[in-house]
C-alpha cells in the first residue's frame, strides 16, 4: 500500500511546539481571516520521520549505485560540499543584509564567477540563473539585448541543431525567437552546408552543445563560429556537456560568445530529485553590460553588488541565484584544482570509451569512433530482430540495480540509449555494467518476454502513464480513500 | 585525486581495451588551435582539512542571523526550521537522485511531490499545483506569460505596483522579451481602469509593504472585467488569511521559503505555482499524478508531459527543466511537522509579534504610521532618522534592522523573536537620534 502522510493524520496529533507567549494576542479582523483551515496532516514527529524515511527507500540515488544517465552528469556529490554549504555563515544570511555584513558571501560569489570565467575562457559572469534552462533563457536574452543595442532588430530566428536538448528551442522561445532547426550530417555533426545556407541577417545566432548530445566534438567549430559571426550572429554554448573538456578546451577559444554551465552536473552539486540546480552564465567582454542585475564586483578589496547597469537585461529571479548551490560548486573547484578538473574530464572520457568498447559487439554504435564523455548506442538490432525495444532494455537494467541511461534521445538515433558514466566510477563498476549490458543483449535473443515485462524486482513495476495523463489525479482527496 | 577512483594500472588496461594509445587519442577530434595549452589558472587542489578551514574563514566574515536578531524580511524570512527537515532531506535517496523520470525507482520523490501538490492546493484553494518553480519571482513571471496567452483577444498584463521590486523586475524581463505589454498601477488606479485589453492582473498578498487589501473587491473587479487574476501570496500568511480561491484567483504563486527553507543568502528557495483546473494543461514544469502499475499497485508518476520542453520543444508552455525539488521536500516536511494546528500557531505568533513591535515602535514617538491597512507579520513605519544610520546603530547592538524602502522602514517579525529581543529592539530603535 502506498501510504501518504495524510493517511497517518489523526485529530490531536502534533509534532511541533512553540515557546510560551509572553505578549498579548492580536486578532486579525474577521473580514480578512480564513474561513476554513487548510487540511494539513496532524501527525507526530516519529510519524514524519518514519514516513519520509520509508518513502525515501523507494528512491535510487548516486550514493547507492551507478547512474549512467546521458547528458545529466550524475557524478558523485562530495559530502564536504554539503557540510560547507551548511555553515551558519552561509546558510543563515539574509539576502538584504548590507554588504559590509556579508563580505565573505560576496567574496565566495565573486571567486566562483572568476573561476567559471577561467574555465570557459569568458570575461564576465552572473550566478543568478537557478538552473540550466534558466541560464539558457538568460543567455539568449543577452544575445537579443546585444542585437537590439545595435539597432539590429530584424533578427527574429534562432538556430538549434536537431540533436539539441529540448530546453534549447524552448529557451529561445522564451526570449521571443522563432526556432529553426539545422540538421546533423552523417558523421553526427552540424551540417555545415545546411548551416551556411540558413544563417542570414534575420538570424540572431546558433545554440550549440559541444561535445554535442551524441558525445561527439564538433570538430568544425571554428568554421561554424565563422559562419555565424560573418552574418552578425552570436554563438551560444550549452554547458550541459562541459564535463568532457575542462582544462582541455574552452568555449571562448572555440568562438562562443555566451556560455551557461550546469553546476549540478559539471561541478558535482546534487540533483535533489529534480533540483535545485544552478545555471551561471558567462559572457565575453562586450556582452558584460547586458548581464542580469546585480553583478558581484570588487573594488579596493571590498566586494559589492553592482546595480547600476543600464544595459542589463533586468532580473531573471529575485536575489542572487541559488547561492548555497554555488558554495558547493566553489568547494568542488577548490578541492579539484586545475589538474584535478582536467583529470576529471580525461577520466570521464576514458570511462565512456571503455564502456563503448565493451558493448560494441552486441549493440549498434551509429557513430563508431572515439567519443567524448558520453556515447549513444542504438537498440535497433534488438528491436528489429527480436522485438525488444530500448525501453525494455532500460527497464531490465532496473532489475540489475542500475539507473538506466537516457533513452530515445537525441531523437536522431533510432532506439537510442545515451550512456554517460562520469569520472567518479571505478573500473570494476564499469566492468560489471558492461557485463550486464551484454547479458541483456543475450536475454533479448533468448527470452524477449523477460524484457517486455521488466522490471520485475522494483518496488512498483511499469506504470499506467496513459490513464495518469487522461484522467489526472494530482492531489490527495479525503473522499477517495474512504 | 579524491573523487577519481581509476588507478594508473586500470587506466593502462582501459586504454588498451579501447585501442587508444593514450588519453590524448580520445581528444584528437578537438582541433589543435582550440586546445588549451596550459593548465587552468585556478588555485591548486586543497585537502579536505585545508578546504574546510578556508571555507570556515570565509563564512566567518559574514554576520549571520544566529548571532544577530533579524527583523529583516522583504521576501525572505527568518523562521525557525525544525531539526527533522535537515535530517530527512540529507538522506542520499532524496538529495542525490535525479528528476524522477524512472518512476519504478523514484517513488520516494514522486510520493513527496504528490503530497506537496496537495498541501499547496490546500493553502491556496487551487485545484492543481505543479512540482515547484525556481522562486517566487520567476513563478510569477511564468504565470503572467501563461495568462497573457490564455485569450486571443487580450494579452496585456497589469502589475499592482506595491509588488516586491525584484519580482516586478523579473516579471518585466519575462514579458518584455516576448513582446507582451505590461503596466504598473496602484490598487486605486486598477479599480478605475478599463481592463478590456488586459489578459491578467497580478497582485502581491500581503503587499511588499505588508498591506492587506480588500482582495474580494479587487478580485470581483478583475473577474467582472474578464481578466485573469494572479495572486502572489506568502504561504505562511495563508495559514490565517483568506484563501485566494475565495476572491476568484486563477493563479496563485509565490515564494515558499518561509516553509522550512534556510535564508541561504537568497537561495535556493522555492517557487510554488497553483491554478484552477481550467489552466491545468498550460501549467509550466513537472506535475505528478496518481496511477497504478501493471499489478494494480498504487504509484505516482510525472504526468501531463505533453506541455513540457523535452516533448514539445519550442511549443512547450515553459522552458523549465530542473526545478527546486529538494526545497519542495523541505516545505512538505515543514507542513507535516507543524501540521494543521502548528502551522496556524506559527503564523499567529508572527502576527502577535509583529503587532507588538509595531505598537512598541510607534509608542517611542520616533516613528510615524504609514498605512491604515491591516498587516500580517510585516509593516512599514516612517522613522525620523536616516534608515541606513539607524540600521548601522542597531547592528552594533546585535540587530539586523529592516529594509529601507520608498514607503519607509520595512520590518518583519517572525515567531523566532522573543519578548526580550523585541523589547530591546524597540528600545534601541527609539533611543537612536541620527
**What's the rounded Cα separation, in Å, for the pair A99 and B94?**
34
Mind listing the pLDDT tens digit for each residue in A299-356? 999 999 999 999 999 999 999 999 999 999 999 999 999 999 999 999 999 999 999 9
Q: Alpha-carbon dihedral of residues B83, B85, B89, B91, nearest 10 degrees?
A: 50
Predicted local distance difference test score (pLDDT) of residue A478: 81
Residue B5: exposure state from Cβ atoms within 10 A (0-12, 13-18, ≥19): middle
Helices (H), B27-164: 48-60, 83-89, 92-95, 107-124, 136-150
Q: Is B56 helix (H, G, I), strand (E, B) or coil?
A: helix
**Contact of B251 with B274, CB cutoff 8 Å:** yes
Residue B1's pLDDT band (cuts 50, 70, 90): confident
pLDDT higher than 90, residue A131: yes
**What's the rounded Cα separation, in Å, for the pair B102 and A244?**
25
* Mean local confidence (pLDDT), A170-178: 95
What is the DSSP-derived secondary structure letter of residue B241? B
How many C-beta atoms lie closer than 10 Å to residue A31's C-beta? Answer: 10
How many C-beta atoms lie closer than 10 Å to residue B372's C-beta? Answer: 6
Predicted local distance difference test score (pLDDT) of residue A482: 42
pLDDT higher than 80, residue A412: yes
Q: Give CA angle at B325 (A291, B76), nearest 5°.
A: 60
- What phi, psi does A46 have (nearest 5°)? -65, -35
**What's the rounded Cα separation, in Å, for the pair A173 and B177?**
9
**Chain-wide mean pLDDT for chain A?**
96
Which residues of B are less than 8 Å from A402 in CB distance?
Answer: none
Q: Using CA coordinates, name the residue in chain B closest to A179.
A: B314
Higher-confidence position of B372 and B310: B372
B396 touches chain A (CB under 8 A): no
Predicted local distance difference test score (pLDDT) of residue B311: 84
- Check CB contact under 8 Å for A90 and B324: no
**What DSSP line would sit under A80-98, residue for residue?**
HHHHHHT-HHHHT--TTS-
pTM above 0.80, yes or no: yes
Residue A2's pLDDT band (cuts 50, 70, 90): low
* Chain B: closest CA distance from residue A446 (Å): 23
Kindly report the length of chain A. Answer: 482
A291 touches chain B (CB under 8 A): no
ipTM passes above 0.95: yes
Predicted local distance difference test score (pLDDT) of residue B373: 97
Q: Is B309 helix (H, G, I), strand (E, B) or coil?
A: helix
Helices (H), B96-185: 107-124, 136-150, 165-176
For B:208-227, CB contacts with A below 8 A are 212, 214
**Contact of B264 with A324, CB cutoff 8 Å:** yes
**Chain-wide mean pLDDT for chain B?**
97
* Chain A: closest CA distance from residue B4 (Å): 5
Mind listing the pLDDT tens digit for each residue in A29-86? 999 999 999 999 999 999 999 999 999 999 999 999 999 999 999 999 999 999 999 9
How many C-beta atoms lie closer than 10 Å to residue B433's C-beta? Answer: 10
**What's the rounded Cα separation, in Å, for the pair A143 and A140?**
5
What is the DSSP-derived secondary structure letter of residue B153? S
Which residues of A are less than 8 Å from B42 in CB distance?
Answer: 115, 118-119, 333, 337-338, 341
Which residues of B are less than 8 Å from A26 in CB distance?
Answer: 351-352, 355-356
* Chain B: closest CA distance from residue A384 (Å): 25
Residues of chain A with pLDDT > 90, as a percent, come to: 98
Strand segments, DSSP code E, in B208-331 are: 228-233, 251-255, 271-275, 288-292, 298-302
- Check CB contact under 8 Å for B76 and A320: no
Mind listing the pLDDT tens digit for each residue in B378-428? 999 999 999 999 999 999 999 999 999 999 999 999 999 999 999 999 999
Predicted local distance difference test score (pLDDT) of residue B124: 98
- Check CB contact under 8 Å for B111 and A13: no
pLDDT higher than 90, residue B151: no
Which residues of A are less than 8 Å from B326 in CB distance?
Answer: 270, 272-276
**Best of A94, A159, A477 to mutate (most B CBs within 10 Å, chain B):** A94
Residue B310's pLDDT band (cuts 50, 70, 90): confident
Mind listing the pLDDT tens digit for each residue in B259-271? 999 999 999 999 9
Q: Which three cell numbers stand for residue B120?
A: 499547496
- Choose among B33, B48, B349: nearest Cβ to A18: B349
Which residues of A are less than 8 Å from B329 in CB distance?
Answer: 52, 272-273
Which residues of B are less than 8 Å from A427 in CB distance?
Answer: 6-7, 10, 13-14
**What's the rounded Cα separation, in Å, for the pair B164 and A418?**
43
- Check CB contact under 8 Å for A34 and B212: no
Which residues of A are less than 8 Å from B64 in CB distance?
Answer: 88-89, 92-93
For residue B17, give the H/E element and its range.
Answer: helix B8-17
Amino acid at each position: 500500500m502506498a501510504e501518504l502522510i495524510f493517511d497517518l493524520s489523526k485529530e490531536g496529533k502534533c509534532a511541533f511546539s512553540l515557546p510560551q507567549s509572553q505578549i498579548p494576542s492580536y486578532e486579525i479582523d474577521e473580514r480578512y481571516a480564513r474561513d476554513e483551515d487548510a487540511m494539513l496532516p496532524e501527525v507526530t514527529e516519529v510519524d514524519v520521520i518514519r514516513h519520509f524515511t520509508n518513502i525515501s527507500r523507494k528512491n535510487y540515488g548516486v550514493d547507492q549505485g551507478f547512474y549512467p544517465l546521458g547528458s545529466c552528469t550524475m557524478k558523485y556529490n562530495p559530502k564536504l560540499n554539503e557540510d560547507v554549504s551548511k555553515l551558519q555563515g552561509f546558510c543563515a544570511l539574509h539576502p538584504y543584509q548590507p554588504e559590509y555584513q556579508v563580505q565573505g558571501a560576496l567574496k565566495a560569489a565573486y571567486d566562483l564567477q572568476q573561476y567559471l570565467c577561467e574555465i570557459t575562457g569568458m570575461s564576465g559572469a552572473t550566478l543568478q540563473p537557478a538552473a540550466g534552462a534558466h541560464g539558457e533563457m538568460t543567455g539568449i536574452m543577452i544575445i537579443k539585448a546585444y542585437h537590439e543595442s545595435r539597432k539590429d532588430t530584424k533578427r527574429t530566428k534562432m538556430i538549434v541543431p536537431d540533436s539539441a536538448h529540448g530546453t534549447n528551442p524552448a529557451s529561445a522561445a522564451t526570449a521571443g525567437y522563432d526556432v529553426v532547426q539545422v540538421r546533423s550530417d552523417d558523421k553526427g555533426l552540424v551540417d555545415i552546408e545546411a548551416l551556411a545556407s540558413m544563417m542570414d541577417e534575420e538570424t540572431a545566432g546558433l545554440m550549440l552543445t559541444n561535445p554535442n548530445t551524441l558525445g561527439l566534438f564538433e570538430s568544425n567549430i571554428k568554421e561554424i563560429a565563422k559562419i555565424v559571426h560573418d552574418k552578425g550572429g552570436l554563438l551560444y554554448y550549452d554547458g550541459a556537456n562541459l564535463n568532457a573538456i575542462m582544462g582541455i578546451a574552452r568555449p571562448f577559444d572555440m568562438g562562443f560568445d555566451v556560455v551557461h554551465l550546469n553546476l549540478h552536473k559539471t561541478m558535482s552539486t546534487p540533483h535533489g530529485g529534480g533540483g535545485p540546480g544552478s545555471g551561471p552564465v558567462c559572457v565575453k567582454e562586450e556582452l558584460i553590460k547586458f548581464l542580469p542585475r546585480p553583478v558581484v564586483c570588487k573594488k579596493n578589496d571590498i566586494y559589492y553588488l553592482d546595480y547600476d547597469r543600464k544595459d542589463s537585461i533586468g532580473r531573471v529571479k529575485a536575489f542572487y541565484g541559488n547561492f548555497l548551490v554555488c558554495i558547493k560548486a566553489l568547494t568542488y573547484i577548490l578541492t579539484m584544482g586545475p589538474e584535478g578538473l582536467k583529470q576529471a574530464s580525461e577520466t570521464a572520457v576514458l570511462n565512456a570509451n571503455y564502456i563503448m568498447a565493451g558493448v560494441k559487439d552486441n549493440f549498434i554504435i551509429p557513430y563508431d569512433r572515439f567519443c567524448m564523455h558520453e556515447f549513444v548506442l542504438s537498440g535497433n538490432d534488438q528491436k528489429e530482430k527480436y522485438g525488444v525495444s530500448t525501453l525494455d532494455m532500460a527497464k531490465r537494467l532496473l532489475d540489475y540495480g542500475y539507473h538506466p541511461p537516457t533513452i530515445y534521445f537525441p531523437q536522431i538515433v533510432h532506439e537510442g540509449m545515451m550512456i554517460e558514466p562520469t569520472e567518479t566510477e571505478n573500473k570494476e563498476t564499469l566492468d560489471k555494467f558492461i557485463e550486464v549490458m551484454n547479458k541483456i543483449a543475450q536475454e533479448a535473443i533468448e527470452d524477449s518476454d523477460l524484457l517486455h515485462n521488466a522490471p520485475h524486482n522494483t518496488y512498483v513495476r511499469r506504470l499506467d502513464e496513459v490513464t495518469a495523463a487522461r484522467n489526472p489525479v494530482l492531489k490527495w482527496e479525503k473522499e477517495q480513500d474512504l | 585525486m579524491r573523487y577519481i577512483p581509476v588507478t594508473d594500472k586500470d587506466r593502462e588496461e582501459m586504454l588498451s581495451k579501447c585501442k587508444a594509445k593514450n588519453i590524448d587519442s580520445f581528444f584528437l577530434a578537438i582541433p589543435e588551435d582550440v586546445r588549451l595549452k596550459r593548465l587552468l589558472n585556478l588555485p591548486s587542489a586543497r585537502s579536505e582539512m585545508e578546504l574546510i578551514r578556508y571555507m570556515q574563514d570565509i563564512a566567518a566574515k559574514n554576520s549571520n542571523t544566529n548571532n544577530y536578531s533579524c527583523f529583516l524580511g522583504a521576501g525572505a524570512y527568518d523562521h525557525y526550521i525544525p531539526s527533522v527537515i535537515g535530517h530527512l532531506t540529507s538522506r542520499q535517496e532524496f538529495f542525490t537522485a535525479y528528476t524522477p523520470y524512472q518512476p519504478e525507482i523514484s517513488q520516494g520523490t514522486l510520493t513527496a511531490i504528490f503530497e506537496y501538490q496537495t498541501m499547496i492546493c490546500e493553502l491556496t484553494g487551487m485545484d492543481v499545483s505543479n512540482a515547484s518553480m525556481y522562486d517566487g519571482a520567476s513563478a510569477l513571471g511564468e504565470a503572467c506569460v501563461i495568462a497573457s496567452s490564455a485569450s486571443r483577444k487580450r494579452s496585456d498584463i497589469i502589475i499592482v505596483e506595491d509588488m516586491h521590486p525584484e519580482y516586478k523586475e523579473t516579471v518585466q524581463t519575462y514579458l518584455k522579451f516576448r513582446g507582451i505589454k505590461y503596466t504598473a498601477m496602484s490598487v486605486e488606479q486598477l479599480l478605475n481602469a478599463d481592463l478590456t485589453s488586459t489578459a491578467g492582473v497580478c497582485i502581491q498578498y500581503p503587499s511588499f509593504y505588508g498591506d492587506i487589501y480588500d482582495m474580494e473587491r479587487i478580485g470581483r473587479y478583475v473577474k467582472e472585467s474578464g481578466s485573469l487574476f494572479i495572486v502572489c501570496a506568502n504561504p505562511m500568511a495563508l495559514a490565517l488569511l483568506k484563501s485566494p480561491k475565495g476572491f476568484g484567483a486563477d493563479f496563485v504563486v509565490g515564494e515558499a521559503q518561509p516553509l522550512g527553507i534556510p535564508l541561504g543568502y537568497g537561495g535556493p528557495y522555492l517557487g510554488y505555482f497553483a491554478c484552477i483546473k481550467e489552466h491545468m494543461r498550460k501549467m509550466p514544469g513537472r506535475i505528478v499524478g496518481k496511477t497504478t502499475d501493471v499489478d494494480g499497485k498504487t504509484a505516482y508518476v510525472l504526468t501531463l508531459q505533453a506541455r513540457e520542453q523535452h516533448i514539445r520543444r519550442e511549443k512547450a508552455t515553459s522552458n523549465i527543466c530542473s526545478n527546486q525539488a529538494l526545497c519542495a521536500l523541505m516545505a512538505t516536511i515543514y507542513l507535516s511537522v507543524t501540521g494543521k494546528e502548528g502551522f496556524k500557531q506559527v503564523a499567529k505568533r508572527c502576527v502577535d509579534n509583529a503587532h507588538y513591535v509595531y505598537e512598541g515602535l510607534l509608542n517611542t514617538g520616533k516613528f510615524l504610521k504609514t498605512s491604515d491597512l491591516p498587516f500580517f507579520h510585516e509593516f512599514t513605519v516612517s522613522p525620523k532618522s536616516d534608515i541606513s544610520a539607524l540600521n548601522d546603530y542597531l547592528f552594533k547592538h546585535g540587530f539586523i534592522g529592516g529594509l529601507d524602502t520608498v514607503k519607509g522602514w520595512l520590518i518583519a517579525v517572525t515567531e523566532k523573536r522573543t519578548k526580550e529581543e523585541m523589547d530591546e529592539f524597540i528600545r534601541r530603535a527609539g533611543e537612536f537620534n541620527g
